[in-house]
Amino acid sequence: MGVGEEVTLTFSGGLATWNATAGKLSVQAPNTADHVIWTAPDRAASPVTITATGAGCTATVSFNVVEPSGVRQQRNPGTGIKHTVNKPDSGMKSTSYYLPDDVCFYNIETLEDEVNAVDTGVYALMTDKGHHPSTTPSTCSMTVVAGLGTKENATDTVYSGYPAASPPYAPGSRTFNIPTKFCVAGGAWKQIELVVQQHVLANDGASLTSSKAGASTPTIKVADPTSNF
């Protein structure tokens, strides 16, 4: 089970008293019910045991609860590449997914922290170093994609910006190591990992690419026409 994930449990013997070693039950002892909804805790736990006692017997079931372990992105289908003609900039629209892909994190919220870029070459002339993440947490869907994980209900704008400089441009890169974190239902935040976002002007001084968490743009040229996401 993923943190915050819910499951309905039924006791075939009728009414039962329920207890759980972690997480939340929709029915609390000494109340009885033939079924309950158990909500997984907001942190990893292994195992969590739920016990139902009734009709002269006791039944148990156990779950391992896992936290998000990684972030992956895909470039949004049908979207363009952001670029300004004769400038060393590139960017894309993408969507985040949260691993592992064998649970669903529909009850988590996610947030990126601000962090400055490590800039080389032409990008060392940039005066705006931050990537300016949203301060509003994003929610996740119930869609789980193999190899990617739980899909986030948000679109990410991945863009390099460009310095006040004229060609020819010195090859270089902008690299953000972005602290990305999660919480369950407004609880405490915990970092998942540092997500790498990078923008590169290649050694030819003309070829541009952008990437983040496994998503990337095709290579474009500094001289290519202005285009948008």
Segment 8-30, tens digit of pLDDT: 999 999 999 999 999 999 998 77
Report CA 222 to chain centroid distance, whole Å: 31
The CA distance from 60 to 11, in Å, is 10
Question: CA-based angle 181:150:9, to the nearest 5?
Answer: 105
Delimit the domains of the chain by residue range: 6-65, 70-221
d(CA 188, CA 181): 10
For residue 197, what are the CA distances in angstroms to 82, 151, 160, 174? 15, 19, 9, 8
Give 217's strand partners. Answer: none
Total number of residues shown for the chain: 229
- The whole-number pLDDT of residue 28 equals 81
Q: Do residues 173 and 120 make contact, with C-beta atoms less than 8 angstroms apart?
A: yes
- Radius of gyration of the CA atoms of the chain, in A: 23
| Tens-place pLDDT, residues 103-120 | 999 999 999 999 999 999
Strand 45-54 relative to strand 57-65, pairing: antiparallel
- Residue type for position 218: P
Q: What would the pLDDT profile of 30-66 be if each residue is shown by its tens digit?
A: 788 999 999 999 999 999 999 999 988 999 999 999 9
Averaged pLDDT score across all residues of the chain: 96
